[in-house]
Structure 1
């Protein structure tokens, strides 16, 4: 199996999942349109929060729960869950 084949296989997910686990470290990568849409919406809302809300307290009061919410959704929709990884599975 070539490196290209291994990379393509690592970004395939089962039905119902939106994110694939990262190959190195902890976290996920969006691989379906739903995952990309969730990521784009999160980034747009966070950007609006930072640009439009006055004061650091208001930005944190909206930004922190928004980030935690996105992380929960991403973790639940990641095929294989979140844990530390270091490269391809053998």
Structure 2
């Protein structure tokens, strides 16, 4: 493994743009925290706007972490 792959938490998608499934425990932990944050937002917040804002913030944080920690970075892939 290259040093970049050692630090990667997510595999790149084979087709398209973005990240695939986690390949390290840290990636699974990030994904679990994301789902916990969504569940807490839906369960604890009563305002629809507050729920949407919390979900949006959690999603932006998830995307940022995934983009930074994907092996090979985010780029268009056509399966080759």
TM over 0.5: yes
Aligned to 1:70: 62
2:9 counterpart of 1:18: yes
Kindly report structure 1 stretches of 4+ aligned residues shifted beyond 4 Å: none
Aligned to 2:71: 79
Alpha-carbon distance, 1:25 to partner: 1.9
State the number of aligned residues: 76
**Higher-Rg member (1/2):** 1
With the length of structure 1 as denominator, give the TM-score of the two structures: 0.76
With the length of structure 2 as denominator, give the TM-score of the two structures: 0.84
- Over aligned residue pairs, what C-alpha RMSD do you find? 1.4
Aligned to 1:6: none
Q: Distance in 2 between matches of 1:70 and 1:84?
A: 19
71-80 vs 24-33, greater mean Cα deviation: 24-33
Structure 2: runs of 5 or more not aligned: none
